[in-house]
Amino acid sequence: MFKIGDFSRLSRVSVRMLRYYDENDIFKPDKVDKFTGYRYYSANRIFELNTIIKLRDYGMNVLEIGRYLKSDREEQKQMLAVKQKEAADNIIAEKARYEAISFAIEYIEKEHKEMEFTVNIKSLPSIQAITLRDTIPAYNMEGMLWEKLGKHIGRNQIAVTEYCYATYYDTEHKDEDVDVEVLMEVINPVKSDGEFVFKETEKIEKAACVMIPGKYENITKAFEFLGKWLEETGSEIAGRMRQVPIKGPWNEEDPEKYLTEIQCPIK
């Protein structure tokens, strides 16, 4: 057997971490000298230690690693599946972060050229629609609701128009757990089915509407413009804002040609 220093070199795990795993009952030494307190490890324990290192790299904490090592294969598979899902969510979040940084660089390169927006005042009629409302992790993950609603419409062969929009129900901006409803106008009434609810939307007498060409990142600038317009005109927000996708990845390959409208009820 090897002293902790030699075993550290063989396993390529620091002495500090070996002591830490010992203290947390994850990886105990084979023997501890009762006189000197020296820890001793057998070479055949390196494989076991490598498993622990892999679990750490998968994102498991000490408690999770301890539970994993004591679990049967089925529970181990379930624990790994949870970490796999977390990794997938992180990929989505990091991709969104990457795209936001890319847009910031692009914005600097364009020398902060101001986009031209126009406010159009109009009334929004009531429509018949199939809807899906749920809480999503962040605003940029709204697509998961559209995909789910689209599958339901296709599966049930529901006749719809091209008119659709998302409504945000939170009374303030949320960094997470965003309450959103997406809907598509239907040609004929349909039955509600669980989370997919048929309803007639309310008519909005007066709304300030802004068309936003180009990438979705431009929406932030449009809200800034709308805020200034509301302040300058003395208008007040009088209801939940809507975001209407007109052109997007489903019907346009070039993000520069996307088209979105924000609709803000006012008084």
Name the least confident of 102-111, 131-140, 197-206.
102-111
Query: What residue ranges in the chain does DSSP mark as E strands?
Result: 2-3, 31-32, 39-41, 119-124, 128-136, 160-168, 178-186, 196-200, 204-213, 242-247, 259-265
- For the domain made up of 119-265, give the CATH fold: Multidrug-efflux Transporter 1 Regulator Bmrr; Chain A (3.20.80)
DSSP 206: E
What is the pLDDT, as a whole number, of residue 101?
Answer: 83
| Mean pLDDT, rounded, for 54-81 | 93
Query: What band does 205 get if pLDDT is binned at 50, 70 and 90?
Result: very high
% of the chain at pLDDT higher than 70 = 97
Cβ atoms of residues 142 and 169 within 8 Å = no
Mean pLDDT estimate for the chain: 89
What is the pLDDT, as a whole number, of residue 108?
Answer: 65
* Per-residue pLDDT at 198 exceeds 70: yes
Could you tell me the residue ranges of all domains in the chain? 2-70, 77-113, 119-265
The H or E element containing residue 51 is: helix 46-57
Distance, CA of 62 to CA of 65 (rounded, Å): 5
Dihedral sign, Cα of residue 62, residue 64, residue 70, residue 72 = negative
User: What's the CATH code, domain 2-70?
Assistant: 1.10.1660.10
Across 190-199, 213-222, 246-255, which has the greatest mean pLDDT? Answer: 190-199
Distance, CA of 150 to CA of 265 (rounded, Å): 27
Instruction: Write the pLDDT tens digit of every residue in 110-120.
Output: 555 566 789 99
What single string gives the DSSP state of each residue in 76-128?
A: HHHHHHHHHHHHHHHHHHHHHHHHHHHHHHHHHHTTTPPPP--EEEEEE---E
What is the pLDDT, as a whole number, of residue 115?
Answer: 67
What is the pLDDT, as a whole number, of residue 107?
Answer: 63
Query: What band does 221 get if pLDDT is binned at 50, 70 and 90?
Result: confident
What is the pLDDT, as a whole number, of residue 113?
Answer: 54
| Mean pLDDT, rounded, for 255-260 | 89
What pTM value is reported for the model? Answer: 0.55
What is the pLDDT, as a whole number, of residue 138?
Answer: 83
Token duo for residue 113: 């050229």
Query: What band does 209 get if pLDDT is binned at 50, 70 and 90?
Result: very high
Token duo for residue 222: 């449009």
What is the pLDDT, as a whole number, of residue 215?
Answer: 83
What is the pLDDT, as a whole number, of residue 197?
Answer: 95
% of the chain at pLDDT higher than 90 = 58
| Mean pLDDT, rounded, for 44-72 | 92
